[in-house]
Amino acid sequence: MDISNLREEYTQAGLSRANLLSNPFEQFELWFRQAQQAQLAEPNAMSLATASAQSAPTLRTVLLKCFDDNGFVFFTNYSSNKARDISDNPQVALMFPWVALERQVVIQGRAEKISTAESLRYFTSRPADSQLGAWVSNQSSVITGRKVLEMKLAQMKQKFRDGKIPMPDFWGGYRVVPEKIEFWQGRPSRLHDRFLYSRQDSQWHIDRLAP
């Protein structure tokens, strides 16, 4: 199938050094709010790239649940493939594909577990079905069919029917502490605007990159 003629011209906006905020987290928050205002589907969906100890890469979509000047937080099963990769090689990358706005944000950094207290705070805010889901799925393991999940869910509902659902000790959050954050804005003729924030000691240095 030849799809080489699929092509869009990016004309919505431009990005200049003069309009960038000096703090990349504030710049990210600005763009994130604009993605929300544009009513993009799940603007917090981000691609997470990891690599194993043998340098085999894996990519999947996860949901951003918190961000501040310390980094970007997502949650997962600590026995999942992504968790095993992070244990072997904590260097990861994130990418927000805000295609409808002709934008993307790429983040490179180090993933580290957040505290149990932070994970518990988020876990208790989740709907009960989501809390149960954390108990049901041995994430990334091979299963014989969906019936296995449905039976396990019924068991968990019965087990915790009389009280609060506790947080599993095999579940929690990771914070990606960024070393580089790139803001990409599509432009005509493929001459896109790209600005890279690089952490240098406690300061952020900004460079324009060729498209």
DSSP string computed for 59-78? EEEEE--EEETTEEEEEEET
User: Given 190, 194, 199, 208, which residue is catalytic?
Assistant: 190
Q: Residue 129 CB: number of other CB atoms within 10 A?
A: 11
The tokens describing 30, both together, are 């600005």
Three-class secondary structure of residue 37 per DSSP:
helix
Residue type, 154: A
How many C-beta atoms lie closer than 10 Å to residue 45's C-beta? Answer: 14
Told to judge if 84 belongs to the known catalytic residues of this protein, a careful annotator would answer no
Q: What is the CA radius of gyration of the chain?
A: 20
Catalytic residues: 190
